[in-house]
Amino acid sequence: MSINLANGVRDRLRIAIQKSGRLSEPARALLASCGLSWRESRDRLFCYGETLPVDLLLVRDDDIPGLIADGVCDLGMVGRNVLMEQAADREQRDIAPAYREWRALGFGGCRLDLAVPESWDWTGAEQVAGKRIATSYPGLLAQWLRSRAIEADIVNLSGSVEIAPRLGQADLICDLVSSGATLAANQLKPVETLLRSEAVLAGPAAAFGDVRAELAELLLRRLDGVLKIRDSKLLLFQAPRAAVPGLLELLPDAEAPTVTSIDGSDRLALQALCHGAVTWQRLEDLKRAGAAALMVLPVERMLA
Ligand code: ATP
Ligand code: ZN
């Protein structure tokens, strides 16, 4: 199979995802649940799309925004932290953004936090003035400092940021945090959040001018369907007509339910798509409010 990676008019969509790391498996799984499949070559750079003309390029996450900006890839799945850091860097160098966040994808959640030694008494952001801050996110940190008119020294490190204070390289750090365990292991505590991040679908700032526009639209429609029903359940139950308004108040996260009358009875059958968790507790509350024959079903696909 010969692969043409050149730019220009194309009749296939090319999506960059992380080759190996935190985002690789969830990104693949999400695309697979949109009905995509590939001629497998997990160990290679390129996966050729089978069910749709949508190919994957497996790369380092840091390369994804640049690949979109250069038109080598059409879309990418990458942490918002990486996308915005590179956008901040482009802005500082007066280069147009070229890409933007199309959708938040609901996995890879983390925060970009300032963290200080546990012994510090934290009184507020102005406390970092004149201090040395170690980070791999100099662009976002500089933006944050600028927006607060604080001057501090940014120590740019590509890894092991969390040990910088103990090594005497910096006074505090600005780094990604999910559970906080790494910070605690290094006697640091988070004090400010600069950015809430998760994996996002990134795409070009400008629209596609060829068949890729239709492919991207198709993919987005499927993606929206998948994201929408990810935690959704179909709830079926019956109830006396008089109990229905009270029951609907217990279902604020449900889309307008379908109500069917049951012949020759004062009872109604209801069907509601709930976007929040449908716990035993909720079912018991509904039962107390008059619902009967309650049933919770998983939702596999949805096309609005
Ligand atoms: P690559 O080899 O592709 O450059 P990497 O080491 O930069 O990989 P990972 O550690 O796999 O990347 O992280 C990828 C993304 O996962 C991060 O950019 C971030 O968006 C997200 N993420 C979620 N939780 C964390 C965390 N605790 N630490 C770091 N990244 C996290
Ligand atoms: Zn990386």
pLDDT of residue 2: 43
Buried b (16+ CB within 10 A) or exposed e, 255-277: eebeeeeeeeeebbebebbbeee
Per residue of the chain (304 residues), what is the pLDDT tens digit? 444 545 556 799 999 999 999 999 999 999 999 999 998 776 678 999 999 999 999 999 999 999 999 999 999 999 999 999 999 999 999 999 899 999 999 999 999 999 999 999 999 999 999 999 999 999 999 999 999 999 999 999 999 999 999 999 999 999 999 999 999 999 999 999 999 999 999 999 999 989 999 999 999 999 999 998 887 899 999 999 999 999 999 998 898 889 999 888 889 999 999 988 899 999 999 999 999 999 999 998 888 7
Give the amino acid at 38. W
Residue 137, token pair as written in the block: 């996110």
Q: Where in the chain is the domain with CATH 3.30.70.120?
A: 233-298
Class of domain 233-298: alpha beta
Q: In sequence order, what are the residues at sequence separation of 6 or more whose Cβ sits closer than 8 angstroms to the Cβ of residue 249?
A: none
Among 22, 85, 105, name the best residue to mutate to test ligand 1's pocket (greatest count of ligand atoms within 8 A of Cβ).
22
pLDDT of residue 8: 57
Superfamily of domain 110-197: Periplasmic binding protein-like II (3.40.190.10)
pLDDT of residue 217: 96
pLDDT of residue 1: 43
Atom of ligand 1 nearest to the CA of 109: 23
Q: Where in the chain is the domain with CATH 3.40.190.10?
A: 13-106+199-229, 110-197
CA of 214: how far to CAs of 122, 211, 304, in Å? 52, 6, 17
Class of domain 13-106+199-229: alpha beta
- Note the pTM of the prediction, 2 decimals: 0.86
pLDDT of residue 6: 53
Q: Closest by alpha carbon to 105, among 196, 226, 20, 207?
A: 226
The whole-angstrom separation of Cα 178 and Cα 221 is 30
Q: In sequence order, what are the residues at sequence separation of 6 or more whose Cβ sits closer than 8 angstroms to the Cβ of residue 297?
A: 233, 234, 235, 236
Q: What is the largest CA-CA distance in the chain?
A: 80
- If DSSP codes are grouped into helix, strand and coil, which group holds residue 126? helix
| Residue nearest to ligand 1 atom 27, measured at CA | 178
Element (H, E) at 39: strand 38-39
Q: How far is the CA of 55 from the centre of ligand 1 (A)?
A: 23
